[in-house]
Amino acid sequence: MKLKIGYQELITSAMAQIETVPLEEAQQLLGDPNTVFVDIRDVRELEREGMIPNALHAPRGMLEFWVDPDSPYFKPIFGEGKRLILYCASAWRSALATETLQKMGLPEVCHLEGGFTAWKKADLPTQEKNHQN
């Protein structure tokens, strides 16, 4: 079966429309009260690999519902006007998710260059999954 658009084309298209935050810049934003790192990976990935310190876990499957104030699943943190830096393992899911949130009209949304894999490879700080996230 030949698809009209494959995953690589979707990612390439998204990357052309969104902001990608370099690792060095992202590291400097750790602890910034106006920035929220949003981990969109599956909970099993977080339990296995850890996460960026103080990141919010927002599973990819619920993201649009958590962001929309009209949704019964809305999470107020998404309405606070903070800069959101989405990330996944390799920056593929986060690119697609960032593009979607941008289309929804969410301001100040971007994603992390190289994802959590690049973050860990650069030996940047991590923590175990916080069970309140």
Entry pTM:
0.94
* pLDDT per residue rounded down to tens, the chain (133 residues): 888 999 999 999 999 999 999 999 999 999 999 999 999 999 999 999 999 999 999 999 999 999 999 999 999 999 999 999 999 999 999 999 999 999 999 999 999 999 999 999 999 999 998 655 4
Q: Which pLDDT does position 131 carry in this prediction?
A: 57
Q: Which pLDDT does position 133 carry in this prediction?
A: 46
Domain ranges of the chain: 26-121
Q: Which residue has the tokens 């919010």?
A: 56
The CATH class that applies to domain 26-121 reads alpha beta
Contact 56, 37 (CB under 8 A): yes
User: CA quadruple 30, 32, 33, 38: dihedral positive or negative?
Assistant: negative
User: Strand 109-112 relative to strand 83-87: parallel, antiparallel, unpaired?
Assistant: parallel
